[in-house]
Amino acid sequence: MTAREPVGSFCLVLHSHLPWLVHHGSWPVGEEWLYQAWAHSYLPMADLLRRLAEQGRRDVLTIGVTPVLAAQLDDPYALRAFHDWLGTWQLRAQYAAVRWRGADPLLRDLAATEHRAAAWAIEEFESHWRHGFSPVLRSLVDGGVVELLGGPATHPFQPLLRQPLRDFALRTGLADTALRIGHRPAGIWAPECGFAPGMERDYAAAGVRWFLVDGPALRGDTHAARPVGDSDVVCFGRDLEVTYRVWSPRAGYPGHAAYRDFHTFDHPTGLKPSRVTGRKVPPEAKRPYDPALAAAAVRRHANDFVDTVVGRLASLRARHGAPGLVVAAYDTELYGHWWHEGPAWLETVLRALPAAGVRVTTLRGALEAGHLGTAVDLPASSWGSGKDWRVWDGEQVADLVTAGAALQDELLALPLGGGPARDPVLDQTVREALLALSSDWAFMVTKDSAADYARRRAKVHGDRFAELASLVRAGHRARAADRADELRAEDGVFGHLDARTLVGTGR
């Protein structure tokens, strides 16, 4: 290896996704979830990428933004409501300064820090985001700073979809990204990394050239992209040996005692005043957050991660006789929303890896660098518990699976048309069906994370679909049109959606 030859390539892949939350509740689950992630993850991530771009960095990372999230970050109602939320955040920080006036100095400092953070977020939003996320993201894509991944419209678990609906959801999602960004993505982050044998043919037909799977789907051999079956579509596998240094089911950096505790609230202010302190320490016994301790932990963990990547790449080179590839893939919301120090850690890592002799690039860049292995036949898989489908079709969600299958059959039996003009009623009927089939509802139920909200959302959209479908079958066009107009005010996502392109048995 020459002095200038990289030890290998590293791809950071971020998956940005939240289900459709606009107009569907506020606290504790609903729009609040969207605005917290927006403030603490999406704003800092865009700022970091913009600063790296200004310093001449290109091919920094690969980022997936699901169509349903992009629609919310561009939505005029959500933009206004988020601006209000940021102002309320600043007011809460002002109240905290009064509430904690005689408290621990760390709490007083935290109130001031929160006020400054809110002020920065307001300035960032007003300077760059007033017209939505798409202009922000488009400049990063056009400038070659990031590679953009697409995906199906409402983030459904694709293996459980009937073939016509699976194809429709993917086409709709890719078209939505092309409309917003001006580029049709060559790669996708398949929702939940869900895969069923044969889906590579779906991807090829839709023009998708690469996608993500979890490491176990490749039996841990993730050192290169792999063509799938006899297709030209390739898959990249998450390197769990590296990925789990940050976030794993049992351990990872964000759980360190010095980091800010996500789950402990000061309810009068709505702020999070504590550090983790210890995994088994009750909320009332947790110590106040200390930024100096957290900053020291960020430096240690960034160094550890860089050493881990370098060591992994050296091991791959020794095993395969050529520079290897590490793909570390995470939810974008981990950085800032779930892990307060995540953006600072990420910036440190992205600056330190090149200095350590690692080529930092995108999935596209990895292929251009020659990281392509032999073909593989993929098994049914996901990135969920057990790496199979149990999170989305297990016993806990059997009722959701049954309801979803019946909904699909009913949808595909409707007379979806083929007339000269779009039908707003059928468009809204399909829209509600897609929202009911979001993978998030089953995930939240299986993981017992706001399960009641998830079940309610699945039922609301399923009921709305059934109501419109019943009116269509009965020929009550005027009533159906009025009801579709009402529902579109809440669930008007994907205004370009055209039910005529969903080929069902009723055509």
Half-sphere exposure of 244 (CA within 13 A, CB side): 11
Q: Is the pLDDT of residue 505 over 50?
A: no
377 within some domain: no
375 within some domain: no
Half-sphere exposure of 264 (CA within 13 A, CB side): 20
Token readout for 331 is 């939810």
453 within some domain: yes
Q: Which domain holds residue 418?
A: 391-501
- Are 458 and 403 contacting, i.e. CB atoms less than 8 angstroms apart? yes
304 with 441, same domain? Answer: no
270 with 405, same domain? Answer: no
403 with 353, same domain? Answer: no
Query: 507: pLDDT confidence band, cut at 50, 70 and 90?
Result: very low
315 within some domain: yes
For 354-379, the pLDDT digits (tens) are 999 999 999 999 999 999 999 999 99
Beta-carbon neighbour count of residue 104 at 10 Å? 13
486 with 413, same domain? Answer: yes
Mean pLDDT of 415-432: 92
Average pLDDT, the chain: 96
Question: Peptide bond preceding 159: is omega within 30 degrees of 0, i.e. cis?
Answer: no
379 within some domain: no
331 with 456, same domain? Answer: no
Alpha-carbon distances of 83 from 19, 111, 252, rounded to whole Å: 20, 20, 33
Mean pLDDT of 182-193: 96
Mean pLDDT of 170-187: 97
163 with 298, same domain? Answer: yes
* 352 φ, ψ (degrees, to nearest 5): -85, -30
For 59-111, the pLDDT digits (tens) are 999 999 999 999 999 999 999 999 999 999 999 999 999 999 999 999 999 99
Query: 249: pLDDT confidence band, cut at 50, 70 and 90?
Result: low
Q: β-pairing, 226-227 with 234-237?
A: antiparallel
Q: Report the C-alpha gap between 45 and 15 in whole angstroms.
A: 12
Residue 290, domain CATH: 3.20.110.10
Q: Report the C-alpha gap between 17 and 191 in whole angstroms.
A: 9
For 447-480, the pLDDT digits (tens) are 999 999 999 999 999 999 999 999 999 999 999 9
358 with 413, same domain? Answer: no
Alpha-carbon distances of 124 from 94, 112, 334, rounded to whole Å: 20, 18, 20
The pLDDT of residue 417: 76
201 with 275, same domain? Answer: yes
376 within some domain: no
Catalytic residue annotation: 192, 331
Crossing angle for the helix pair 451-474 and 477-490, to the nearest 10 degrees? 150
What secondary structure does DSSP assign to 80-132, as a single string? Answer: HHHHHHHHHHHHHHHHHHHHTTTS-HHHHHHHHHHHHHHHHHHHHIIIIITT-
The pLDDT of residue 504: 57
381 within some domain: no
In the chain, what's the furthest Cα-to-Cα distance?
Answer: 74
The pLDDT of residue 506: 42
Query: 411: pLDDT confidence band, cut at 50, 70 and 90?
Result: very high
Q: Report the C-alpha gap between 90 and 95 in whole angstroms.
A: 9
Number of domains within the chain: 2
pTM equals 0.96
Last residue of one domain, picked from the residues 368, 401, 430 = 368
347 with 425, same domain? Answer: no
Place of tokens 């292929």: 367
Beta-carbon neighbour count of residue 232 at 10 Å? 12
Residue 490, domain CATH: 1.20.1430.10
507 within some domain: no
Mean pLDDT of 266-277: 96
407 with 354, same domain? Answer: no
For 316-353, the pLDDT digits (tens) are 999 999 999 999 999 999 999 999 999 999 999 999 99
The pLDDT of residue 247: 86
261 with 112, same domain? Answer: yes
303 with 424, same domain? Answer: no
Query: 6: pLDDT confidence band, cut at 50, 70 and 90?
Result: confident
Q: Is the pLDDT of residue 1 over 50?
A: no
